[in-house]
Amino acid sequence: ASLAACGKDLGIELFVMDDGWFGTRNGDTSGLGDWTVNKKKLPSGIGGFAKKIHDIGMQFGIWIEPEMVNEDSNLYRNHPEWCMKIPGRQPNVERGQMALDLCRKEVRDYLFDSITKILDEGAIDYVKWDMNRNLCDIWSYSLEADRQGEVLHRYVLGVYELMERFVNRYPDILWEGCSGGGGRFDAGILYYMPQIWCSDNTDAIERLRIQYGTSFGYPISSMGSHVSVSPNHQTGRKTPLNTRAIVAMAGTFGYEMDLRKLTCQEKEEVKQQIQNYKNYYDLIHHGRYYRLSDAEKDRDFTAWQFVSEQKEQSLVCGVILHAQSNPLFMRVRVKGLEKNKKYQIESIQKSREEGEIDYKEEKNVYEGSALMNGGINLPVGCKDYEGFCFVLNAVSDPKLLK
């Protein structure tokens, strides 16, 4: 609860309890599939803990992974036939998990009934539906041997049927899906869940390519994206807090870290980041999105842009990838503006970390045609992975149009 209180002070609205709250889930090899609250960890149950979070003034969410099961679970011991595995073969266990056979109605009914009890108890506002392994050992004991070619199709229909039941029963819950390595980021899931977690890889520099690629098929509003710790726990890369926030803003935006460990200076920066995201939420989620670089090929910087429907405002964001000695000016040519309108440029992300870019406060005004053809000079920094974020506002003040 102290972590939630810290988040509330910084302006965060939703607290999510991750894996480990259920069954004998003391590691990733046990308990999955047993959807009952672990009272040793949560003596007051989901309902009691949810109330604490709600009393702080935050919404409350939980993590689930309904489609998978650990061999070390009561569910598997009682119903080993509910897993997908080929008769006579040793099943392939990934991450200590096996896939439940969602072709079977009794499996879907078990998941719906057990998880519904949790959601009814806790007054849950958000649910992360995870999927952490690929499907293999494609075989269902519910079908004859000559019908096993139907299994994958029937499995997906089973997933949709289960999701349909959940979202119809809980229309006010925000549901987030999981990409499962990219294989689950699809329009079918978005019909039930308005956002999908792009990847467990939260390194901001890796995310430049992940989110760039995802944007070719899906809107920014659907991309789960968070600010995580530095050095990153997967790559070991050190990335400025400012940069991590700029990258996460190109999506649903959140924080997955122990906020209590931030310095006072960093907490103030987080407050500003959250306020910036709220200020430009409509522009990011409903504006037109432009890719200003090729994140797969460009080595100097990655940049993207949001433009409002009336072309009155635009947000230009990106990351300078490599510091250089005596560098040439880098320039980004923006898109989607009204060529005859005048736009005032202002930086909205200012880092407080020592040695990073010192943005000037001057607010220059240019015609849209100049910005689209001539471009904007990017700030010159002295470290790798420095982020930038400019807002372009159309102006009509005669004093600024001279």
Active site residues: 186, 266
Q: Which residues contact 168 (CB under 8 A, 6 or more apart)?
A: none
d(CA 261, CA 3): 10
User: How many CB atoms are located within 10 Å of the residue 304 CB?
Assistant: 24
Question: 42 vs 1, 120, 122, CA distance in Å?
Answer: 12, 16, 12
d(CA 42, CA 397): 59
* Nearest alpha-carbon partner for 363 in 343, 341, 346: 346
244, two tokens: 């991590």
DSSP H or E stretch at residue 139: none
DSSP state of 346: E
d(CA 390, CA 402): 22
127, two tokens: 């649910």
d(CA 115, CA 124): 11
**Strands laid side by side in the 14-17 sheet:** 14-17, 59-64, 126-129, 174-178, 195-197, 223-224
Angle, helices 264-279/2-10, rounded to nearest 10 degrees:
60
